[in-house]
């Protein structure tokens, strides 16, 4: 292949498009509405939250020691009962982010393996607040769905604005967890706040 070849191999084109495609998908999700019938809206919201959480894995950088070996999984644990567990499992099945497979599991206070993302259902805010600080302030991206979640030290909270599902980032919580949140993700958030 010549250096001046106007048609580079497809593999190069595809790898260059992956970050842009992820950003576009996340941007679309950030602006997607939930204008549907009530039963459909609940299902649609579950699907959107699952897609957001999966895509957060592409825009957050964990400390090297927490996702060390190539091929070690990024573990997403769910605290509370929700249909989101199954939906996220379907989305993540067989996919990898930066060479790491995605594993979705229910939360166990003493897991056998480290977790990288902890999703907290609205009914489990009190339980989240009572967790050891290793979960609330360790290298875990905490994501919740209640208005009180960010006040309890959560990193990303889903919120409703103008009938649409959005998310806010508590940058203080991500800094305490030693997580680097990309500027792209911060731009897509409805708000980036600093709170205790």
- 115-164 tens-digit pLDDT: 899 999 999 988 888 877 767 667 899 999 998 787 778 999 999 888 88
Strand partners, 84: none
Distances (CA, A) of 18 to 64, 166, 187: 22, 23, 19
Which of the residue ranges 13-17, 30-34, 88-92, 110-114 would you say has the lowest mean pLDDT?
13-17
Residue 118 near residue 144, CB atoms below 8 Å:
no
For the chain, give the mean pLDDT. Answer: 79
Is residue 194 within 8 Å of residue 170, measured between CB atoms?
A: yes
CA dihedral defined by 101, 106, 110, 112, rounded to 10 degrees? -30
pTM across the whole model: 0.78
Phi-psi label, residue 111: left if phi above 0, alpha if psi -120 to 50, beta otherwise: beta
What CATH architecture applies to the domain 10-193?
Answer: 3-Layer(aba) Sandwich (3.40)
Q: Which residues contact 73 (CB under 8 A, 6 or more apart)?
A: 100, 101, 102, 103, 113
pLDDT over 90, % of the chain:
46
- Inter-residue contact 128 to 109 (CB < 8 Å): no
What percentage of the chain reaches a pLDDT higher than 70?
72
Quick one: pLDDT at residue 192? 93
Confidence of residue 3 (pLDDT cuts 50, 70, 90): very low
Helical (H) or strand (E) element with 90 = helix 84-92
Three-point CA angle 63, 191, 163, nearest 5°: 125
**Confidence (pLDDT) at 9:** 42
Would you say 137 and 177 are in contact if contact means Cβ atoms under 8 Å apart?
Answer: yes
- List the chain domain ranges: 10-193
Phi, psi angle pair for 187, to nearest 5°: -65, -30
Query: Residue 82: is its pLDDT beyond 80?
Result: yes
- Residue-wise pLDDT tens digits, 168-185: 999 999 999 999 999 999
Per the CB < 8 A criterion, the answer to whether 84 and 125 are in contact is: no
Helix 10-31 to helix 38-59 angle, to the nearest 10 degrees? Answer: 130
Hey, what are 4's tokens? Answer: 């001046």
């Amino acid at each position: 292949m010549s250096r001046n070849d106007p048609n580079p191999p497809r593999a190069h084109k595809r790898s260059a498009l992956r970050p842009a495609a992820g950003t576009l998908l996340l941007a679309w999700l950030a602006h997607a509405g939930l204008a549907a019938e009530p039963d459909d809206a609940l299902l649609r919201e579950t699907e959107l939250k699952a897609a957001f959480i999966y895509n957060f894995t592409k825009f957050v950088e964990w400390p090297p020691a927490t996702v060390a070996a190539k091929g070690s999984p990024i573990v997403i644990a769910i605290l509370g009962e929700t249909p989101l567990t199954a939906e996220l499992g379907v989305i993540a099945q067989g996919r990898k982010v930066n060479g790491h497979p995605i594993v979705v599991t229910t939360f166990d206070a003493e897991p056998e393996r480290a977790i990288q993302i902890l999703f907290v259902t609205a009914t489990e805010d009190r339980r989240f607040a009572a967790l050891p600080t290793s979960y609330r302030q360790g290298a875990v991206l905490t994501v919740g769905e209640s208005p009180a979640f960010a006040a309890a030290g959560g990193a990303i909270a889903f919120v409703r604005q103008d009938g649409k599902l959005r998310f806010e980032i508590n940058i203080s919580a991500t800094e305490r967890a030693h997580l680097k949140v990309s500027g792209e993700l911060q731009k897509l958030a409805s708000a980036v706040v600093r709170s205790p």
